[in-house]
Amino acid sequence: MSYTTQMNAARKGIVTGAMETVAKKENMPLETLMGRMAEGTVVIPSNKNHVNIDPEGVGEGLRTKINVNLGISKDCCNLDVEMEKVRTAVEMKAEAIMDLSCFGKTQEFRNRVIAECPAMIGTVPMYDAVGFYDKNLKDITVDEFFKVVERHAQDGVDFATIHAGLNRITAEKIKRNDRLTGIVSRGGSLLYTWMMLNDAENPFYENFDRLLEICTKYDLTLSLGDGCRPGSINDSTDAVQVEELITLGELTKRAWEQDVQVMIEGPGHMAIDEIAGNMMMEKRLCHGAPFYVLGPLVTDVAPGYDHITSAIGGAIAAANGADFLCYVTPAEHLRLPTLDDMKEGIIATRIAAHAADIAKKIPGARNWDNAMSKARADLDWEAMFSLSMDPEKARKYRESSKPEFEDSCTMCGKMCAVRNMKRVHEGKDIQLND
C-alpha cells in the first residue's frame, strides 16, 4: 500500500519507518501513536525530501519538544556562523531548527541545513519572498507566494509556518482594537501589509486548498502561524488573537480532510494567570491539534533575561497542554543571538520542557531526576556532571571553587547535610570543628 503523508499512512494502517522510530523514542505502543496521528493530535514532521532526518513526534502524550530559531539577516549574514549554531543546537538535543533567514542566499543556507541536520527543519516562506523575487512586497503576486512555498517544500523543509488565519475579518478587528504593540509577527505583518496595499484577501487563506496540495505532495507539515499573537501582556487573549485562533481551528479541519499534518502556533506575551486558560482554549478550538508556543513571555520588562521570562511561561504552558516550545534567548528584542545566547536559550527551554513533562507524567520523565538525586545522595560528583543538562557548566562551577573536603562543596563545607547524613549512616564520626 502507498501513502501520501504520515497522517494518511496512519489512517490506512501503514507503519512507516518514522512511526517506528518515534514509538521507540517515546516508549509508546505503535497502535496508540498511529491512532493519535490519524486523529491529528500527534504529528511527525518528516518531508519526503529530508532524507537524513531522525524523526520526532509532537503532540498528545509525547515528550515536550523544543525548537531553535536561527538564520541570516542583512546585518548578520555569515553562513558559517549560523551553521555552527545548527551543529551546536543538535548537540544540545534540540529537536527542531527553524531557519528564519530573511536576506541574501537563503536557499543556499537552507539546503546546507537540510543536507546536514537530522533535526526537524522549519521555515517561514513569507520571509523569503521579498528577497527571492527582489521586488517590492506590494508587487509580489499570489502565484509567486506559492512558488516560494513549493520551493521550500521541494528543498526538504519538514514544517512551514504559514499565517493563513489572518484574513480580512481579522484585519478589520486589528483596526478596531487598541493594541499596545499591534502585530509583532514578522510574517503576519508582511501579509497584513500586502493585504492592505492590494486591498485583497490573504492569499493563503483564500487559496488554502492550493496550499494543501503542496503539503500533500511533499508531506510538509503545516504550522498554522499566529500572525496576531500578542506582543505584550496587555494584548493577550484579546478579540484579535481569539478571532484568528477560531479561523485556525476551521483551517485545521480542512487540512485533516486532505490528510495534511497540522500544528497550531500560539502566543507570545501573556500574564501567568492567563496561560492555562489559553492552552485549554487552543486545544478546544483547534480540535486537539499539537500546540507550538513562543514562550509565552510572562512579563515585558526583562530585556536581556527573556530566556527566563519565556521559560517560566513555557513550563506552565507545556504543563497545561502545549506540545512544542520555541526557545527564546537573552537577546530577544535586542539583536540576532550569538552562539552563547543560543546555548542559554536552549538550556532554559529544555528546563521548561522537562519540568512540564514531569507535571504531565510523561513515562520515564522522572527517571532522570531520580538518578540525579541518587548521585547527590551518594556525593558522586562525576555522576552528577554526567546527568546534568549542561555538564560543562556544572563541572566548571565545581572546579572554580574547590572545597577542603572532596565530599562537600564550598557552600557548606563540613556542615553539608548530605555529607553528614551519609557519614552517620555509615557509622563514621562527625567532627564539625577543626
Residues 288 and 312 placed together within one structural domain of the fold: yes
Residues 377 and 415 placed together within one structural domain of the fold: no
Asked if residues 64 and 353 have their Cβ atoms less than 8 Å apart, the reply is yes
Residues 290 and 415 placed together within one structural domain of the fold: no
Q: Report pTM.
A: 0.94
Q: What is the DSSP string of 360-402?
A: TT-TTHHHHHHHHHHHHHTT-HHHHHHHSSSHHHHHHHHHHS-
What pLDDT shows up at residue 1?
67
**278 located within any domain:** yes
Which residues in the chain come in under a pLDDT of 70?
A: 1, 75-76, 103-105, 433-434
DSSP annotation of 269 reads B
What domain range is 284 assigned to?
6-359
Residues 328 and 373 placed together within one structural domain of the fold: no
Give the three cell numbers for residue 407.
565530599
> Residue 176: how many CA atoms within 13 Å on its side-chain side?
10
Given 339, 359, 379, which residue is the final one in a domain? 359
Q: Among candidates 342, 343, 328, which has minimal Cα distance to 298?
A: 328
305 known member of a binding site: no
Predicted confidence (pLDDT) per residue in 52-89, tens digit: 999 999 999 999 999 999 987 776 677 889 899 999 99
186 known member of a binding site: yes
314 known member of a binding site: no
215 known member of a binding site: no
Query: Cα separation of 51 and 340, whole Å?
Result: 30
Beta strands in 125-167 (DSSP E): 159-162
304 known member of a binding site: no
Give the three cell numbers for residue 118.
537530522
Backbone angles phi, psi at 313, to 5 degrees: -65, -40
- The number of domains in the chain is 3
Residues 134 and 151 placed together within one structural domain of the fold: yes
> Residue 94: how many CA atoms within 13 Å on its side-chain side?
30
**1 located within any domain:** no
Within 10 Å of residue 76's Cβ, how many Cβ atoms? 14
Predicted confidence (pLDDT) per residue in 390-410, tens digit: 999 999 998 998 887 777 777
226 known member of a binding site: yes
Q: How far is CA 54 from the centre of its chain?
A: 16
52 known member of a binding site: no
